[in-house]
Amino acid sequence: MSIVGLDLAGVEKRPTGFCILKDMTAETCEIYGDVEIINQTIKANPIIVAIDAPLYLPPGRQNLEDPQGNHLRDSDRALLKMGIKIFPPTLGPMRKLTIRGIFLRKLFEERDLRVIEAYPGGAQDILGISRKQLGIEKLRLGLEKLGISSLGNITSHHILDAVTCAYVGKLFLENKAEVYGNPNEGIVLPKK
């Protein structure tokens, strides 16, 4: 059983962290374009894909250009109430990431892959491990303490966030994670 975690970049020229988690062993790399992301994910034949990117628009919005629509989703509000900071999917720099996340989610779902939205920073907070801002090495060691192997000397925060996403996918499959916000469109985080 493999689980794919993606720390999706907003644009194809920036690196996307990619992780295949089998049991508790991580196979990782950085990838770029949508074609590479799609091919690598499908090749992994995952039971679930956990993506760090907004995968749905806020309720009532038809597109990101609508200035009158909601800026936050129910999941965003739930995380803010928990004290977990997020960026709204409609915020300028988040728009490209949101569009790309929605595109990939739809494409994967058309191929009968189960897709969830993960937020590695929030998951790391709940799991009690350091975020990348406190140091890549601390984050890597925190993931290793969870039992994830083959992290070696990874120095890319994109990869470590992808590993976190994959781990959230594993917890979700084991009923050790919950969906915040709309049950069909929410953000998945580990149970406290």
Cα–Cα distances in angstroms (integers) from residue 92 to residues 71, 84, 95, 112, in the given order: 11, 20, 6, 31
pLDDT of residue 169: 98
**SS3 per residue for 105-174:** HHHHHHCCCCEEEECHHHHHHHHCCCCHHHCHHHHHHHHHHCCCECCCCCCCHHHHHHHHHHHHHHHHHC
Tell me the pLDDT tens digit for each residue of 56-100: 999 888 888 877 778 999 999 999 999 999 999 998 889 999 999
The answer to whether domain 2-190 has CATH 2.40.50 is: no
In one-letter notation, the amino acid at residue 100 is: R
Residue range 129-156: average pLDDT? 94
Q: Is the pTM of this model over 0.85?
A: yes
pLDDT of residue 68: 76
Judge whether residue 38 has pLDDT over 90: yes
In this structure, what DSSP letter does residue 192 have? -
Judge whether residue 114 has pLDDT over 80: yes
Under a CB-based contact definition with an 8 Å cutoff, are residues 164 and 21 in contact?
no
Q: What is the mean pLDDT of the chain?
A: 95
Judge whether residue 107 has pLDDT over 80: yes
